[in-house]
């Protein structure tokens, strides 16, 4: 009996002490209610304190960004599946802006713009997060673009060179090889200590799978992060994808690394932003795009730069891709992007049809800062090559009419045809610097001019293979020396002469080989 009594006493004493020590904690949560949901956006009332671009949480762990902040109601861009959301559901403030996990753990991974894995590699565990919208580097923190970013494509490296920290637009109609140029450039960074980020925006899943497979097969995933939104994802995800990818890239740049980022493509990005803006009833402007469409792209591309040495000397090179319609380069989005970037590579459907691949239209392409970063060996040949090619393009149209042409004109046309043939390149096969220089010097020394056009491909391939025999010291001078010495030029031209000899046919001047 006594034992039972003491048991009850103890139990009551414990309850009393727990009750006395209990101090209720009050947590304040600002909660609003959904007033309507439609394709990719929601309207929410009852969150008067919410800030612009603040992240809000919906039931089912779906997040959204407060886009339109009005007095009574906010317009929210949804970042996930919204099929289960209904009018009257609770919405909570989070007090933070959208951020993404960054770090070397992402290398080799395929993730969505929220950092969630889309491959079979298990969860991504990053130790640091960065906001997706960050201010770009100040002018005083930037250094000049003075190191080339080799694409491995002869036509680009010789005529439209790209420097580390540059923004070079790739534009052209659909199916003209835009993505291929970007992927070839990523493949060429193998062993060059450049981190690559490929951001696919609103693309078909099969297209993205093809790109990832190409990167995997060519061992490029080891230094690449792939950020993906597919065509059927919420438009909000497509809108934030390039910003999230840029934050992932900036992490590496701030560690002093050289980084390459590809946005494939910003036409889809602009379209998803237009969709969101129209749904949020923002006033439409030209081609129904909202007034700030220029700003969304310029604030993205301004983040690409070359940082000064004191800040680590890292760089972020951007290759944004844009799709044109019916070769209209002067449409709204292409002209915006052309004016933001430091040059463009224009891909022509007519060259693509002729089988001139990559279908780069040299006359409509330009690199505004890359020339200063180009290796001296390229600079020694680029001038002659560009001139020869430009003359050829002008004269080629006359040749089509079957006009009788004089000998120098015929010679220029034949020379130009050989330049074009030598600049052709199959996809996924970047060419090394020494092999490129050997072919380009062979072209400027007119060694290809006496080779029949149908044998140019074989001759060019033979010379590319023979370039591996050049001494490593000579090859490293191509990438380091301030100028191409006469001795080096003669060594390469002699090699080219020897290799191309078997392909030559002796012709009378003025007749076509």
Ligand X SMILES: Nc1ncnc2c1ncn2[C@@H]1O[C@H](COP(=O)(O)OP(=O)(O)OP(=O)(O)O)[C@@H](O)[C@H]1O
Find the length of the chain. Answer: 513
Give me the residue label for tokens 């844009």: 322
Span interacting with ligand X, options 68-76, 218-226, 287-295, 425-433, rule CB under 6 A: 425-433
Alpha carbons 121 and 237: distance in angstroms, whole number: 22
Q: Tell me: is residue 172 an annotated ligand-binding position.
A: yes
Q: How far is the CB of 301 from ligand X (least distance, A)?
A: 19
CB 235 within 8 A of CB 42: no
Tell me, residue by residue from 332 to 361, as one string, x for binding to ligand X by CB under 6 A and - for no binding: -------------------------xx---
| Residue 196 token pair | 């690559």
- Closest contact distance (angstroms) between CB of 356 and ligand X is 9
From the CA atom positions of the chain, what is the Rg in Å? 29
Place of tokens 């250094």: 143
What residues between 125 and 144 interact with ligand X by CB under 6 A? none
Q: Is 109 annotated as a binding residue?
A: no
Q: Does 150 belong to an annotated binding site?
A: no
Decide: 168 and 319 in contact? Cβ < 8 Å: yes
**Residue 313 known to bind ligand:** no
Asked if 212 interacts with ligand X (CB under 6 A), we say no
Contact pick of 150, 176, 188, 304 for ligand X (by CB under 6 A): 176
β pairing state of 169-172 and 224-230: unpaired
Q: Is 46 left (phi over 0), alpha (psi -120 to 50) or beta?
A: left
Q: Based on the residue annotation, tell me whether 368 is a catalytic residue of this protein.
A: yes
Q: Is 224 annotated as a binding residue?
A: no
56: β partners: 64, 93
- Dihedral angle sign, alpha carbons of residues 498, 503, 508, 510: negative
Catalytic residue from among 216, 368, 379, 489: 368
Taking the C-alpha atoms of residue 203 and residue 407, their distance in angstroms, rounded to an integer, is 51
Class of residue 512 by CB neighbours under 10 A (exposed 0-12, middle 13-18, buried 19+)? exposed
Alpha-carbon span 241 to 112, nearest angstrom? 8
Q: Output the smallest distance, CB 247 to ligand X, in A.
A: 25
- Give whichever of 358 and 442 is closer to ligand X, judged by the CB atom: 358
Q: Which residue in 175, 407, 471, 507 binds ligand X (CB under 6 A)? A: 175
DSSP letters of 192-230? TTEEEEEEEEEE-HHHHHHHHHHHHHTT-GGGEEEEEEE
Region binding ligand X by CB under 6 A among candidate stretches 54-62, 115-123, 177-185, 285-293: 177-185
Select from 421, 79, 46, 76 the least CA-distant residue to 237. Answer: 79
**Does the annotation place 175 within a ligand binding site?**
yes
- Work out whether 427 is an interface residue with ligand X (CB under 6 A): yes
What minimum distance in Å lies between the beta carbon of 503 and ligand X? 23
CB of 429 to ligand X, least distance (A): 8
At residue 488, the 3 state secondary structure works out as: helix
CA distances from 92 to 48, 327, 376, 482 (A): 12, 47, 59, 61
Q: Kindly state the smallest distance separating residue 175's Cβ from ligand X, in Å.
A: 5
Q: Is 112 one of the binding residues for ligand X (CB under 6 A)?
A: no
Least distance (Å) from ligand X to the CB of residue 208? 11
Q: Long-range contacts of range 7-11, CB-CB < 8 Å, 24 or more positions apart?
A: none
Specify the residue, 175 or 468, whose C-beta has the smaller distance to ligand X. Answer: 175
- Kindly provide the residue ranges of all beta strands, DSSP E only, lying in 117-193, ordered along the sequence: 128-131, 169-172
Query: Please, which residue, 117 or 231, has the CB nearer to ligand X?
Result: 231
Mark residues 288-327: x for contact with ligand X by CB under 6 A, - for none: -----------------------------------x----
460 binds ligand X (CB under 6 A): no
Distance CA 374, CA 90 (A): 57
- In the bound complex, what is the minimum distance in angstroms from residue 217's beta carbon to ligand X? 14
Q: For ligand X, which residue of 84, 174, 192, 286 counts as binding (CB under 6 A)?
A: 174
Residue 267 vs 277, nearer CB to ligand X = 267
- Which of 151, 179, 272, 464 contacts ligand X by CB under 6 A? 179
Q: Answer yes or no whether residue 425 interacts with ligand X by CB under 6 A.
A: yes
The verdict on 192 binding ligand X (CB under 6 A) reads: no
Cis peptide before 127 (omega within 30 of 0): no
Q: Is 437 left (phi over 0), alpha (psi -120 to 50) or beta?
A: alpha
Q: Respond yes or no on whether the N-terminal peptide bond of residue 358 is cis (omega within 30° of 0).
A: yes
Q: Does 180 bind ligand X (CB under 6 A)?
A: yes
State which residue, 266 or 440, has the beta carbon closest to ligand X: 266
176 is in an annotated binding site: yes
Q: For residues 47 and 421, which CB has a smaller minimum distance to ligand X in the complex?
A: 421
Nearer to ligand X by C-beta: 166 or 185? 185
CB-nearer residue toward ligand X: 152 or 442 = 152
Using the minimum distance from each CB to ligand X, give the nearer residue, 179 or 444: 179
Asked if residue 178 belongs to a known ligand binding site, the reply is yes
Q: Which stretch binds ligand X (CB under 6 A): 2-10, 161-169, 172-180, 487-495?
A: 172-180
Q: In angstroms, what is the minimal distance from the CB of 309 to ligand X? A: 36
Q: Helix, strand or coil for residue 363?
A: helix
Given candidates 49, 122, 426, 472, which one binds ligand X under the rule CB under 6 A? Answer: 426
Residues marked active site are found at 368
Detail the residues annotated as belonging to a binding site for ATP.
172-179
Q: Give the residues lining the site for ligand X (CB under 6 A).
A: 172, 174-180, 323, 357-358, 425-427
């Amino acid at each position: 009996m006594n034992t039972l009594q003491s048991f009850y006493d103890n139990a009551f004493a414990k309850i009393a002490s727990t009750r006395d020590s209990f101090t209720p904690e009050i947590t304040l949560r600002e909660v609003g209610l959904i007033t309507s949901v439609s394709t990719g956006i929601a309207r929410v009332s009852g969150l008067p304190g919410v800030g612009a671009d603040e992240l809000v949480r919906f039931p089912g762990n779906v997040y959204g960004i407060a886009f339109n902040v009005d007095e009574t109601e906010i317009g929210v861009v949804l970042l996930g599946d919204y099929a289960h959301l209904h009018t009257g559901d609770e919405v909570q403030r989070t007090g933070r802006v959208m951020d993404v996990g960054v770090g070397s753990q992402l290398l080799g991974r395929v993730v969505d713009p929220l950092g969630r894995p889309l491959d079979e590699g298990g969860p991504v565990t990053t130790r640091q997060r960065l906001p997706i919208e960050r201010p770009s580097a100040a002018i005083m923190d930037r250094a000049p673009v003075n190191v080339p970013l080799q694409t491995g494509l002869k036509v680009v490296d010789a005529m439209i060179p790209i420097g580390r920290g540059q923004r070079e637009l790739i534009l052209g109609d659909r199916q003209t090889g835009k993505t291929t140029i970007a992927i070839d450039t990523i493949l060429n960074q193998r062993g060059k200590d450049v981190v690559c980020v490929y951001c696919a925006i609103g693309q078909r899943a099969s297209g993205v799978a093809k790109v990832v497979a190409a990167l995997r097969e060519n061992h490029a995933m080891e230094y690449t992060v792939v950020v993906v939104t597919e065509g059927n994802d919420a438009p909000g995800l497509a809108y934030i994808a390039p910003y999230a990818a840029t934050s992932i890239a900036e992490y590496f740049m701030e560690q002093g690394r050289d980084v390459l980022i590809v946005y494939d493509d910003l036409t889809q990005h602009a379209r998803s932003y237009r969709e969101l803006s129209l749904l949020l009833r923002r006033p439409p402007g030209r081609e129904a795009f909202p007034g700030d469409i220029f700003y969304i792209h310029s604030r993205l591309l301004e983040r690409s730069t070359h940082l000064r040495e004191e800040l680590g000397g890292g760089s972020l090179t951007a290759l944004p891709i844009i799709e044109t319609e019916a070769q209209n380069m002067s449409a709204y989005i292409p002209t915006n992007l052309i004016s933001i970037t430091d040059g463009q590579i224009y891909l022509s459907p007519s060259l693509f049809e002729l089988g001139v691949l990559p279908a780069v239209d040299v006359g409509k392409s330009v690199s505004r800062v890359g020339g200063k970063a180009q290796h001296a060996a390229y600079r020694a040949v680029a001038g002659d090559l560009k001139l020869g090619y430009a003359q050829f393009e002008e004269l080629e149209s006359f040749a089509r009419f079957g006009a009788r042409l004089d000998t120098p004109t015929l010679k220029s046309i034949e020379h130009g045809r050989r330049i074009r043939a030598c600049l052709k390149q199959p996809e996924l096969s970047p060419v090394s610097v020494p092999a490129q220089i050997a072919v380009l010097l062979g072209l400027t020394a007119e060694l290809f001019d006496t080779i029949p056009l149908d044998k140019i491909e074989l001759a060019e391939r033979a010379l590319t293979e023979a370039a591996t025999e050049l001494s490593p010291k000579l090859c490293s001078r191509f990438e380091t020396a301030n100028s191409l010495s006469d001795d080096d030029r003669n060594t390469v031209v002699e090699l080219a002469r020897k290799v191309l000899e078997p392909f030559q046919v002796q012709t009378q001047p003025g007749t076509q080989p």
